[in-house]
Chains A and B, each alone.
Chain A
C-alpha cells in the first residue's frame, strides 16, 4: 500500500489523528487485543501501524494550519484581523463561530482553494461545524431542536418501527461505546427521518450512516438534531433518491458505475463480466451505507468531507478509487468466490485515506457530471 511519502498531494495535505486503544488482553494471552480507532470503531487494520499513524497525524496538523489561515484570509477581507492561532477558539464559541463563518462569501462552495482544502481533509475538530455549513443546514440548527423532537414523538407505522428495531442491535454492535442509550439515539434519529421522509420510511442500510455521524458528533450536545439534518440534507438534496421504496435510483447508479468502470477500469470490468460478478454485488452496500460500513473510519470521514462538498458524483469516484487501489489483487482472483471475498475484505483495509482520495480524484481520468447524467438517463430508460 502506498505510504505517506508517495504523492505530492499527500505531503501537502493532512489527515486527523488516529489513536490506538487496546483492550486489556491479560486474561487470555491467545486472544488478539481488540484495536479501536480514536472514534471507538474496531480497527484491526491499525495494528502495528504506529509509525504510519504518526506521519499521518503530522500531515494532518500541517493541513489544519492551512485551514486556520484560510479563515484568517476571509476574516481580513471583512476588516476583521485575527491570527491563525485564534481560529480554533473562535470556532469553538458559538457566537464567534457564526461571525467567522459569515466571513465566507456566498460563493465559497465554488472556490477552488476551498475545494482543495476539503479534498485534503476537514480537520476533525472542524467537521461538526463545517459539515452542517456545507450541507446548508445552519439555519435549521439555529432554530433549535423543537421540530426534531416533535418528529421523534410522532406516530410511526409499526412496520417501519419494527424494521428500525431489527437493525439497531445489528449496527456497529462492536463499537467501543455502544450502549442502550446510544442505540436509543440511533432509534430516535431514524424515527424522525422516517416520519419526515414518508416515501422512504426506513430503508435498511440507513442505520449505518446515522450511527456513524452520531459517533463522529459524540461530543456535540445537539448531535441528534444535527445528525437528523445532515442525513436529511443528503436524502433531500445531495443524493438521488437512494432510499425509496423499490431502490430504483440506487440500482440505476449501480448500473452507471458499471458503465463508468468500462470506461475507466476496462480490465476490471471485463474480469467481472467473465466471472459473472453483478455490479450490485460490488457496490450496493457501498452506496446504501455511503461507504461507512465498508471503509475504515478515517477513510469514510475523508469521503464524507467530499460527499458534503461535491455530492453524489463523488460516490462514483470513490467506488472506482477503491477498485483501483485493489485492482491487481482483484484481477488476480480466479473465481467469483475469491472476487467476492476481496470485494468484502479489501475495502475494510483501505485505511490510507490519502491514497484512496488521491487515486479517486487524480488517477481516474476526467469524470464529468454531464457524463454521469447522460448515463443515468440511459440507465433509467433501460430500467424495468
Chain B
C-alpha cells in the first residue's frame, strides 16, 4: 500500500492468454501469480480470472489476467475476453508445430476483431522440453518481428522467463494505456489496501 508505492502510479492492465489447448496457458498464469506448477493442471472450462500487482521501472501495474480455454469449441466465448485487452499473450508449445500455426490464426483474429491497441506477446512454452523441439527459435522470432510482437520462450515448469515475459509487457503498451483515469485509481487503491491482494515482483 502506501509504503509500497504512490497509488497514482498504479495502472490497470488487462491481459488475455490465448492459444491451443494444452500449451500451458493456465500453467504460465499460475507460475506467474502463485509461483506454482502442477504436471496435472486441470483443463480450463470457459475462462478464469486472476490478478497480480507488479512493479516495473517504478510504476505499479495491476494485471488482470484472463486465462481462456484452448479447445476450438470454446472459441466463440473468447472474443469477450480479448475485446478490450491491453495485451494478449499467445502461447504455443515448442514441441507441437500445429500449436504455432494456431498462433498465426490468433494474430489474424486479433487484427480483424480485436482492438488495434492490444499489444501481442508470443510465448513459446515448454522450453524445458527443448530436446523435442519442433518449432525453431529463429522462425518464431522472425514471425514475431514481422508482426511487431514480443517473442520469448518460457517454461511454466522450470519458471524460466515467466516473470520476465510478464515484466516486459508494460514497455510495449501505448502511452494511452499508462495514463490512468481518475476513477480507476480509486478502485486500485481500494484493492491494494487489503493485505493479501498485494503481490511480489517488486525489486
Contacts and interface: CB of A to CB of B under 8 A. Distances in A.
Nearest to B191: A335
Given A170-B41, A205-B45, A280 B77 contact: yes
B74 A247 contact: yes
Contacts of B45: 204-205, 284-285, 288-289, 293
B158 interface: no
B21 A281 contact: no
B80 interface: yes
A337 B71 contact: no
A39 B47 CA distance: 29
Given A281-B47, A285-B46, A337-B197, A251 B40 contact: no
Interface in A335-384: 335-337, 340, 344
B73 A344 contact: no
A281 B80 CA distance: 11
Contact of B49 (A166, A245, A293, A336): A336
Nearest to A204: B71
Contacts of B141: none
A25 interface: no
A203 B40 contact: no
Contact of A203 (B73, B76, B187, B191): B73
B182 interface: no
Q: Which of A247, A288, A344 has the most CB of B within 10 A?
A: A247
Nearest to A284: B46
B115 interface: no
B76 A281 contact: no
Given A163-B71, A337-B50, A344-B48, A278 B43 contact: no
B190 interface: yes
A173 interface: yes
Interface in A126-179: 163, 166-167, 169-171, 173-174
Interface string A230-253: 000000000000010111100100
A337 B49 contact: yes
Interface in A201-228: 203-205, 207
Contact of A204 (B51, B73, B76, B190): B73
B64 to A, nearest CB: 8
Interface size range of chain B in the complex = 20 to 34
Interface string B40-60: 111101111111000000000
A336 B74 CA distance: 22
B114 interface: no
B191 to A, nearest CB: 6
B122 interface: no
- Please classify how large the interface on chain A is, using the bins under 10, 10 to 19, 20 to 34, 35 or more: 20 to 34
A334 interface: yes
The listed residue with most A CB atoms (<10 A of its CB), out of B22, B73, B191, is B73
B69 interface: yes
A293 B22 contact: no
B73 A245 contact: yes
B74 to A, nearest CB: 7
A337 B191 contact: yes
B42 A293 contact: yes
A279 to B, nearest CB: 10
A301 B21 CA distance: 29
Contacts of B42: 170-171, 173, 293
B50 A204 contact: no
Interface in B163-183: none
A40 to B, nearest CB: 16
Nearest to A247: B73
Contacts of A163: 21, 71
Contacts of B43: 166-167, 170-171, 204-205, 207
A26 to B, nearest CB: 24
Given A170-B40, A170-B42, A281-B49, A251 B77 contact: yes
Interface string A251-285: 10000000000000000000000000010110011
A335 B64 CA distance: 12
Given A170-B42, A293-B45, A337-B50, A204 B21 contact: yes
B42 to A, nearest CB: 6
Interface string B62-85: 001000010101111100100000
Contacts of A169: 39-40
A340 B69 contact: no
A336 B48 CA distance: 11
Given A204-B73, A205-B45, A335-B191, 8 more contacts: A171-B42, A174-B40, A251-B76, A281-B49, A285-B45, A293-B45, A335-B187, A340-B50
25 contacts: A166-B21, A166-B22, A166-B43, A169-B39, A170-B43, A173-B40, A204-B21, A204-B69, A204-B71, A204-B74, A205-B43, A246-B75, A248-B76, A278-B80, A280-B47, A285-B46, A288-B45, A288-B46, A293-B45, A336-B49, A336-B64, A337-B50, A337-B191, A340-B48, A344-B48
Interface of A: 163, 166-167, 169-171, 173-174, 203-205, 207, 243, 245-248, 251, 278, 280-281, 284-285, 288-289, 293, 334-337, 340, 344
A-B residue pairs, 7 tightest by C-beta: A284-B46, A173-B40, A285-B45, A204-B71, A166-B22, A340-B49, A337-B51
